[in-house]
Amino acid sequence: MSARPRILLTRRWTEEVERYLAERFDVTLNDSDVPMNAAALRDAMRDHDALCPTVTDRIDDSVLAAESRRVQLIGNFGVGYNHIDIEAAKRLGIRVSNTPDVLTDTTADLAILLLLMTTRRAGEGERELRAGRWTGWRPTHMMGQSLAGKVLGLIGFGRIAQATARKAHHAFGMRIAYNGRRRASTAVEQETGAEFIDSVDELMAVCDVVSLHCPGGASTFHLVNAERLRLMKPGAVLINTARGPVIDEAALVTALTGRHIAAAGLDVYEEEPRVHPGLLQLENAVLLPHLGSATVETRTAMGMRVAQNLEAYFAGAPLRDPVV
């Protein structure tokens, strides 16, 4: 009989991490790699010591409070945990961990990719060329916007926002403004070139590009709504690598259709994997399929970070990345 803790990964992880975990735990894999429904998640809660979900799993009260629950730890694969009912976990005494740090630069790189693709109209250009519509070079062809001296405004100023600020400021000469729950230290402000603006409305109104880096969940639902989109400068750009529901997608479609703002670069959506049909029609929307942390190195590092939390927990040591 094996005394090894039983753990379940709700999706397939990189081979390296699956092998590492299999050497240390009794691992259940979801071979189909299709998201598990609530009933299957509840069953898993009864048969395992730890459950390792991703953003595609809804770990709500009904799952956490499964009858005859055995799971003691939710080892989330990802830094964001708005898909887990944290209050219910607290109430039930279930521990939750996440994977900060290891995806910071990779996700910031993707924000920069969207910043460049939107301001230089890269998606539009590629579509034109592939469709055989490119008639050749001309001085006024598909002109975008330069970045040097422009103001990048960050909503939320955690690790990923700070890394995005550093790259935009030092590599592209952008000026940086931010709004967050609290003001960063003077050292961080100096190093990232960032200036604190104490209202979201003001930040929306003064920036050339606004990039979202706040957590998801009820407190940020539709933070960027029709009124806030109207506050943006004509010709401004909106980037979202945080969580889809932070933006009212229908209102964004209206703002982009009327060209009040020049473009949006999105990696996340209100109801993934569904994308608002209005967005799909727009040349000035760059749309990626939630690829923020999707590099081999980072996805392996995220899995290893979950492994470290599992190992600590089952050794009776403090969690490396406790959420609860």
Residue 79 touches ligand 8YV, criterion: CB under 6 A? yes
Residue 14 touches ligand 8YV, criterion: CB under 6 A? no
Could you tell me how many residues of this chain bind ligand 8YV (CB under 6 A)? 9
Candidates 11, 243, 305, 320; catalytic one = 243
Q: Look up 169 and say whether it is catalytic.
A: no
Token readout for 54 is 């991703």
- Whether the CA torsion 230, 232, 233, 237 is positive or negative: it is negative
Token readout for 168 is 């935009």
Candidates 290, 299, 305, 320; catalytic one = 290
> Which residues on neighbouring strands pair with residue 240, listed in sequence order?
212, 266
| Shortest Å, Cβ 69 to ligand 8YV | 22
| Shortest Å, Cβ 55 to ligand 8YV | 3
Residue 78 touches ligand 8YV, criterion: CB under 6 A? yes
Q: Which stretch binds ligand 8YV (CB under 6 A): 25-33, 73-81, 177-185, 219-227?
A: 73-81
* Identity of the residue, 75 or 150, whose beta carbon is nearer to ligand 8YV in the bound complex: 75
Q: Look up 290 and say whether it is catalytic.
A: yes
* Identity of the residue, 103 or 229, whose beta carbon is nearer to ligand 8YV in the bound complex: 103
| Shortest Å, Cβ 293 to ligand 8YV | 3
Residue 245 touches ligand 8YV, criterion: CB under 6 A? no
Residue 244 touches ligand 8YV, criterion: CB under 6 A? no
Q: Look up 58 and say whether it is catalytic.
A: no
**x/- map, 82-121, ligand 8YV, by CB under 6 A:** ---------------------x------------------
Among 55, 102, 108, 286, binds ligand 8YV (CB under 6 A): 55
Among 5, 75, 245, 292, binds ligand 8YV (CB under 6 A): 292
Q: Would you tell me how many other CB atoms lie within 10 Å of the CB of residue 67?
A: 7
Q: Which stretch binds ligand 8YV (CB under 6 A): 77-85, 154-162, 178-186, 308-316?
A: 77-85
Residues identified as active-site? 243, 272, 290
Catalog residues that contact ligand 8YV under the rule CB under 6 A.
Answer: 54-55, 77-80, 103, 292-293
